Structures are given as structure tokens and as C-alpha cells.
Chain A
């Protein structure tokens, strides 16, 4: 059960990342790998602030803003200095590695015995249960600490998802959605598509930063290596989500991204439990994303070929 609770919690935290990747990858159609750096930036800023006595909430907000700043840097490199989108992301991601080390002062900042974002909920549960150290969740005894984290990230993720959905349905959000699909049309309607790209990347990376901030508090440390491969995890989650939800309105797509992330984390947890070497995890994920990107086209190709042969025969 700890496994499932853990997968759910990490899944919810990473679904913020997935929603960010969804915005850059699917809405802006911008392959933004700043993500690998900005999630660590969010985590390190938050960890250092909490260590230095800031409240977890303000630290989380600061981590979110830091992620947004990273997105701004990538956006400016791409739009103002005309650097290719992939290279702009690589440059910022690489630079962020040093920035993160500077922020933390070392490669790893532990967050042990400090207040985190779920502590208020934990105290509430504690009071509610009269001081027990675990609560009953669907028949399982779950440690208060885990339960409060799950509840906190659930609330945050739901609020953030509703906020994004609402934003995408505004005039500004509509323009942003059209930017990725048809920049020509967007310009013809009087929208500066470059500004939209920068804005979208800030938005996306702020979400990623927030995900990092929560992840650091959940796992109890920020590490300079923690962002490696996150973009691929995000993509894998989105792809699973799109398989789960076929409709592409913003609300459904966001639901898909969240569900996809949780399902992906569950699959990972199960695979690890069954004895998958954790070192192989990233390879397996990359192969999965490759398959998910290529197989649908491949299957169509083969079906097309088969039916053609049938017609000719």
C-alpha cells in the first residue's frame, strides 16, 4: 500500500511537470528541454529557502517563480536571439546545472526534520485522529506523514489544473493555443506569436518549477542530478494520458496528463517491485516513448499496406 500511496503522491507532484510539458510540447509545439534544469531549480531554491527558515509556502512559490524565470530565459534566447528551440533549451539547461550548484552551495541539500508544505495538513490530521500516527484509508493504515502529503499535493494539483483549464479558455489562452498550431494565423489576428511563445514557456516552466519544489519536500532532499530525464518522463506521461483520453479539449487533455502521470508512476513502481533494475529505468522509459511515438504511424502504415495488397490481390 505504501507503494501505491507513494506512486500516487509522486504521480500527482509530477503531473504538474506533465502539465508544463504538455503546454510547451503540445500547445506551443515547442520541444523545450529546459524542463530538466528548471525542475531542479525549483527544488533547489525551495530547499535552500526552507533550510534558511522561510515558510514552505513562500519557498514553493519562489521555486515556481524560479522555474518561470528559466522558461523566460529559454524563450528570450529563442525569440530575440533566434537560437533554435532545442539549442535554446540545451543552453539554459546546461547553465542551470551551475546555477543550481550555486543556489545549493553543494550537490545535495537534505530537508530532514523541517517544516514542509504538508505539515499543516499533518497537524490537522493529528488533531482529528487524537494523536495517532497513522490513519485508516480504505482499510489500510497509512502514516500521517504520507497521507498529509498526498492530500496536500492532491489539492494543489486539482487547483492548478482547474486554473490552467480556465486560463486556456480565456481570450489570451485561446490565442496561446492557436500560436503553436498556426503562428501565421495568430499574427494575422494581431497577436505577437513570439511574445506568446515566451509567455507559454514561462508558464510551462513555472509549473515544472512548482513540481520540483513539491518533489524536494516530498522526497526530503534536493539534488543537482534530480532533473535528468524528466522531460522524457513528462512525455511518457502525456502519451499515456492521450491514450486514456481521446478528446482534445483543454479540460480533457489536462485530465489525461494527470491520469497518465499517475498511471506511469504506478507502472514504474510495479516494474521496480518486480525487479527492474532502477538503473535501467530511463532506458526503458526512452524506449517506451519511442515506441509510443512511432508505433501508431507504423501500425497505420502496415494496415495500409495490407489493405492495398488485398485490393490488388
Chain B
């Protein structure tokens, strides 16, 4: 259960560049719910995600995961509850370190790191076993630098790492946007599979309307720092209907969707 109360953030306050990125966001994501935030550039969707991840401190408001108020927690401390996948496939892993070394770091996400040898044989075995579930042949390349993998492989691995220890919340920041269409589809499929299997609570930012229709159980539409519309439950289920999908797809082809249009579309089709 994630609760966001009256979350407010203004960047560059009292300057000509003032941006009211978040204007009193109230949001509840129930336990085990996979929610997606959609919206245009500058709508505040990434800002909201980063506020939950802890990359900056909000001006006002609270963020709760379960019963814990994490508003004042530093970014690294939140990692004990939150798993993250970034838009940039290179952001979630350390390129010059091996696959195994990257994974072993994720195996201790939010835990104390001592002076025990990181890659014992049993650990390597466990890593190989679980990585083989990706069906990318990475289990034979455990000692290769992760920089030798493709963006799609790295992103799949990052996803696996983020969920290696079950997170209370999984944050996905447009994590398929920088991939080629085929890898994007693979990673999206993997995302859904892992979230369903582990019954994770997840919050995903996406540019892709199609993805928003296909993957999550709940859609949050943001515009200019506010939540303008939410589709959940039955309503969201109806958004899935194939002709609607086609309609959304048609709009998506215009690349940058006008927020007003998306709002109208949203209310019209549901």
C-alpha cells in the first residue's frame, strides 16, 4: 500500500523559471496493484516518480509505504523498500563490473554490506539459476562485463535485479522507452510476468498509451502537476477493448499527444 498525501514541489521558486511540478498530489496505490502514470512532457509524471524514489525532497506533503512515512528518508535508505528500473538502460548497472557482481549487489539491496566475500560459489549458482529464467543465455556469461550486453539485456537484468529481493514498491521510469521495439516488447512482457508472479505493488511511468492500456491494472493521467483522471477496476478493464486500443494507437502516432486531446479521448472512450 502506497499513499501519497498533498505532495507539492516547485522547482526554482520565486524566479522567472519557476515550475510548479507537483500541485498537491493525492494518490493511493493498493497492495499488489500495478499502476501506470501517463501524461505529456512536463506533466510531472517523472517528478512524481522521483519524489517517491527520493531524488529530491518535496516542499510539502507525505509519502507512505505501508505504515512507514518515508518522506524524510534519503534516497539510498528507501532502497530497502523500493526497487527501481530507469529509463536509461545503462543507469541501472555498473558497466565495467561483471554480470555476477552487479547481481550480487542487488541481492543485498537495502541490507548491510559486510566484509564477506561477495561471490561465493553457492551465490554464483543461485545467480546463474535465476538469470537463466531470462532465457537470454546470460547464465554462461556471468564473468563478462555488463557493458558488453545490449540495452535490452541490460534492462531485463536491471528488472530482475530490482525484484531479486521482493520490493514493497517497484518503480519503473519509462523503462522500455529507450529500447528498440523488439526488446521493449520483451522487457514489457517480463515486467508483467514478474509483477504478476510476485504480486508486486508497482508504479510505472510511460509515454506509450499502448503500454498503459496493456500492462497495468490502473491508469493515472497527469497534466501540469495534477492528477486529472484515473482509470481503475472495471473502467480500466473496458479500456482494454480492442477498438479502443486502436483509437489510442491512432492518437499515439501523433507522437506528442496534446494533453487536452488525451483528456477528451479519455473521457470520450470510457
A interface with B by C-beta (< 8 Å): 166-167, 169-175, 177-178, 181-182, 184-193, 248
Question: Which residues of B lie under 8 Å from residue A193 when comparing CB positions?
Answer: 76
Residues on B lying within 8 angstroms of A by beta carbon are: 53, 74-77, 79-80, 83-84, 86, 91-97, 101-102, 104-106, 108-111, 113-119, 145, 162
Given contacts A189-B109, A190-B109, A191-B113, A177 and B77 within 8 Å (CB-CB):
no
- Name the contact of A174 in the complex, choosing from B77, B95, B105, B162 (C-beta under 8 A): B105
Q: Choose among B76, B95, B97 the residue that contacts A192 (Cβ–Cβ < 8 A).
A: B76
Distance A170 CA – B119 CA, assembled complex (angstroms):
8
B77 touches A190 (CB 8 A): yes
Structural contact, B92 and A185, CB atoms closer than 8 A: yes
- What are 7 sample pairs from A and B whose C-beta atoms fall under 8 A apart? A181-B94, A181-B95, A185-B94, A188-B162, A189-B106, A190-B109, A192-B77
Interface SS of A by simple majority:
helix
Min C-beta distance of A294 to chain B, whole Å = 21
- Are the CB atoms of B105 and A175 closer together than 8 Å? yes
A-B pairs, 10 with minimum CB distance: A190-B79, A190-B110, A171-B113, A178-B94, A181-B94, A187-B76, A182-B94, A188-B84, A174-B118, A192-B76
B114, A189: Cβ atoms under 8 Å?
Answer: no
Residue contact B118 to A192, C-beta cutoff 8 Å: no
Knowing A174-B104, A189-B79, say if A167 contacts B94 (CB, 8 Å): no
CB closest chain-B residue, reference A181: B94
Check A191/B119 contact, CB under 8 A, given A172-B113, A182-B91, A185-B92: no
Contacts of A174 in B (CB 8 A): 97, 101, 104-105, 113, 118
Contacts of B84 in A (CB 8 A): 188
Residue ID in chain A nearest B105 by CB atoms: A189
Evaluate contact between B114 and A187: CB separation under 8 angstroms: no
> Cβ of A248: which chain B residues have Cβ within 8 Å of it?
96, 145
Most A C-beta atoms less than 10 A away, residue of B92, B97, B106, B111: B97
Contacts of B86 in A (CB 8 A): 184, 188
Q: Contact at A171–B116, with CB atoms within 8 Å?
A: yes
A181 to B146, CA, bound (A): 12
A203 to B102 CA separation, bound complex (whole angstroms): 23
Contact A178 B105 (CB under 8 A): yes
Q: Which residues of A contact B92 (CB under 8 A)?
A: 185, 188
Selected contact of A189 from candidates B53, B108, B116, CB within 8 Å: B108
Complex Cα distance A175/B114, Å?
10
> Could you tell me if B97 and A181 are in contact, using CB atoms closer than 8 angstroms?
yes
For A185, what are the chain B residues with a Cβ–Cβ distance below 8 Å?
A: 91-94, 105
Among B104, B111, B114, contact of A190 (Cβ-Cβ < 8 Å): B111
* A184 & B91 in contact (Cβ 8 Å cutoff): yes
**Chain B residues in 8 Å Cβ range of A169:** 117-119
Instruction: Tell me the minimal C-beta distance from B25 to chain A in angstroms.
Output: 22
CA distance A182 to B158 in the complex (A): 13
Closest residue on chain B to residue A168 by CB atoms: B118
CA distance A170 to B93 in the complex (A): 18
Cα(A166)–Cα(B102), bound, Å:
17
Within 8 Å CB of A172, what residues of B?
Answer: 113-115
Nearest CB of chain B from residue A186's CB, rounded to whole Å: 8
Among A172, A175, A181, A187, the one with the most B-chain Cβ atoms within 10 Å of its Cβ is: A187
